A = this chain, B = another copy of it.
Amino acid sequence: MTVIRVEVTYRKGVEDPEAITITRNMKILGYSSIRNISISKTYEITIEGSGDAEKVVREISEKILSNPVIQSYKILS
């Protein structure tokens, strides 16, 4: 059994609507010192075997866990 972590982030220049909304609401709620918030998602994947585990994880990261048009992924461990 192998555990592989994948971080998915928005590409530079692509607006993340959730992050924009949260940042705006911080100001409304009185947290005016907050300049920016960006969000990434980390998937911790437990997968059988080890041989082609990273290959499978790369495949699902590209096809399912991220939208390659607006997001990129990084294998963390």
Contacts and interface: CB of A to CB of B under 8 A. Distances in A.
Q: Give the interface size bracket for A toward B.
A: 20 to 34
Given A56-B31, A60-B31, A64-B29, A36 B46 contact: yes
A50 B49 CA distance: 46
Query: How many chain copies does the complex carry?
Result: 2
Nearest to A65: B22
Contacts of A1: 35
Interface in A49-75: 49, 53, 56, 60, 64-65
B45 A37 contact: yes
B60 A34 contact: yes
Interface of A: 1, 7, 22, 25-26, 29, 31, 33-49, 53, 56, 60, 64-65
